A and B are shown apart, each in its own frame.
Chain A
Amino acid sequence: MSVDAATLHAPTADILAARPSTLLMRGVCKTFSTGTVALTDVSLEVAAGDLVSVVGPSGCGKSTLLRLASGLDAVSGGTIQVNAAATSFVFQEPTLLEWRSAQKNVELIDELRGVPRAERRRRATEALELVGLTGFERQFPRQLSGGMRMRVSLARSLVAEPDLALFDEPFGALDEITRLRMQTELQRIFRLKQFAGLFITHSVSEAVYLSNRVLVMSGRPGRIVADIAIPWQYPRPPELRYQAEFAALTGQVSAALEGGHE
């Protein structure tokens, strides 16, 4: 293991006492009915104001981790504690309803909760403004670019005012330029909304740029092999990606990834 012992993941009592954790996973295991062991003994903690990234090789159970945290799937062992009035989930694909305009897609969540029309319209307009889509409210998904569709998806997740925001590789399918732009956008929104975020990605630089902690997972069965703190204050300028200190940290994460492979 090339990571020093201090940064290895160990949820200690004083961390837990300092800030109430929004998401707390302890000894979580997941075995599918097919017998596949997806996760073994995963413990992690995300507090308000934390944006925690999880990186790992494909098939290591990163997405499973997120599905467990959201309650979409049940754990096979261990406990998950969520202290959030509202949780949001951003999928790999924008997952928009093709027959609804951008505005109507964002309104969907409130529609399902029975929020009155005028109120949900106002909230959707605000959310679209937050992701920089003012003027595109009436466009349908097919009329929008990939990046814009993902912005609509972000807006839809924000409309619920989440305390816990879960992201399942949301920018993985975007082109490089759009991807970098979306990272900056997400960081700005995160600073504004101060939710607790759990961000799954396969991009080391994305994880380091966005989050204040990076968890590294090993290949299947997935477990967390490193917990690396990212020290920089937000907002982080885009140029940070080209600094030596940034390279040093991505190197450290990559090394942990390599170690986890063996």
Chain B
Amino acid sequence: MTAAMTSAGSRPPATGESAETQSPEQAAHGAARRTVGRVAAAVGPMLSALAVAVGVWYAVTYLVLAENRRFMLPPVHQVLEVSVLQSSHMTPMLQALWLTVQVAVLGLVIAVALGVTQAIVMVQSRWMERILYPYAVILQTMPILALVPLLGIWLGYGFGSRVVVCVLIALFPMISNTLFGLQSPSAAAHDLFTLKKASRWQRLTKLQLPAAVPSIFSGLRISAGLSVIGAIVGDYFFRQGPVGIGGLLDVYTQRLQTEDLFTAIGLASLFGVVVFSLFATLDRAVVGHWYGMVRR
């Protein structure tokens, strides 16, 4: 106790709790409270905004909408009761979501493989870049909806077409980001490799690709978000076989099951948020590690 007192005394004056930190237990308690405080400070504003939104929701449901039009925005508790907490409603939605996840993951994997490969091909020669890059840009600017009927005729209306839509939407950021990264090494760095008579392969694997890692990961972050959109758009339009969450959105709209519609929208959004946070975290971790900012 005495030791703790002395050490507390020799410590520079801490803010707020300095008078209380007299024993290790109390100090630990203080630290825990500080952590709680930090979390509250981070999440608090978000939760307040959510509370306000729910308030507005209820206000619109009960004050703005007439009773016969209340189905357009059913109250929150009704969405929970009728849809979220009913396993007979929730189970098919989760199954549909799982299917959409599969489409998104497969689409993303293909988009990454294609995008990185195409960028590598383009960086090998200026000619290749001149030939391929305009088409990549056209692919990006072309409205995917315009392609949907054609894809249906070519590939059918099932899983395959959904994945293709997903790939088409997610591909461009992978190409452009990888290309940017591959082109980032300085002229001097290239001179160094030229002077040491490095082969094309060595230049690619020891200079260009390592230099591109950070941009590949930021491309991956963008493409992952797009692959979620692509998968949902894909199963909205291509309905053969098991239904995805995008297909359910349409089904619920047709049947005016707005409680289920809200749940499905919520699930789809949650999926998007999870994917985004996952890849944002991955991006930060990898790039930090890549430049030695994180100690191994």
Contact = CB atoms under 8 A, between A and B. Distances in A.
A98 B196 contact: no
Given A93-B186, A112-B202, A113-B196, A98 B291 contact: yes
A211 interface: no
Specify the main secondary structure of chain B where it touches its partner.
helix
B195 A71 contact: yes
Contacts of A139: 292
Interface string B283-295: 0000000111100
Interface residues of B, number: 21
Interface of B: 186, 188-189, 191-198, 202, 206-207, 210-211, 213, 290-293
Nearest to B185: A97
Interface in A103-121: 108-109, 111-113
A101 to B, nearest CB: 7
B205 to A, nearest CB: 11
A202 B292 CA distance: 34
A99 B206 contact: no
B293 A95 contact: no
A95 B188 contact: yes
A56 B211 CA distance: 35
A95 B188 CA distance: 7
Given A95-B189, A99-B210, A112-B202, A89 B195 contact: yes
B291 A112 contact: no
Given A99-B213, A113-B196, A108 B206 contact: yes
Contacts of B195: 70-72, 87, 89
B213 A72 contact: no
Interface centre among B197, B202, B210, B291 (most CB of A within 10 A): B291
Interface string A29-71: 0000000000000000000000000000000000000000011
Given A140-B292, A142-B292, A112 B189 contact: no
A142 B293 CA distance: 8
Nearest to B189: A95
Given A111-B206, A112-B198, A112-B206, A95 B192 contact: yes
Contacts of A246: none
Interface of A: 70-72, 87, 89, 91-93, 95, 97-101, 108-109, 111-113, 139-140, 142-143
Contacts of A101: 292
A95 B210 CA distance: 15
Nearest to A70: B195
Interface centre among A72, A91, A142 (most CB of B within 10 A): A91
Given A99-B290, A143-B292, A91 B188 contact: yes
Nearest to A113: B196
A89 B291 CA distance: 25
A87 B274 CA distance: 53
A202 B291 CA distance: 33
Given A97-B211, A113-B196, 4 more contacts: A72-B195, A93-B188, A112-B193, A143-B292
A137 to B, nearest CB: 12
A113 B206 CA distance: 13
A97 B213 contact: no
Contacts of B206: 97, 108, 111-112
29 contacts: A70-B195, A71-B195, A72-B195, A89-B195, A91-B192, A93-B186, A95-B186, A95-B188, A97-B189, A97-B206, A97-B207, A97-B210, A97-B211, A98-B211, A98-B291, A99-B210, A99-B211, A99-B291, A100-B210, A108-B206, A109-B196, A112-B197, A112-B198, A112-B202, A112-B206, A113-B196, A139-B292, A140-B291, A142-B291
A98 B211 CA distance: 8
Contacts of B290: 99
A89 B195 CA distance: 8
B124 to A, nearest CB: 19
B89 to A, nearest CB: 50
Contacts of A91: 188, 191-192
B185 to A, nearest CB: 8
A66 B198 CA distance: 20
A112 B194 CA distance: 11
Closest 4 CB pairs of A and B: A140-B292, A95-B188, A91-B188, A112-B196
Contacts of A87: 195
Given A97-B210, A111-B206, A112-B198, A72 B292 contact: no
Contacts of B292: 99, 101, 139-140, 142-143
A70 B196 CA distance: 11
B289 to A, nearest CB: 9
Contacts of A143: 292
Contacts of B211: 97-99
Contacts of A92: 188
A67 to B, nearest CB: 8
B182 to A, nearest CB: 14
A72 B207 CA distance: 18
Nearest to A96: B189
Nearest to B196: A112
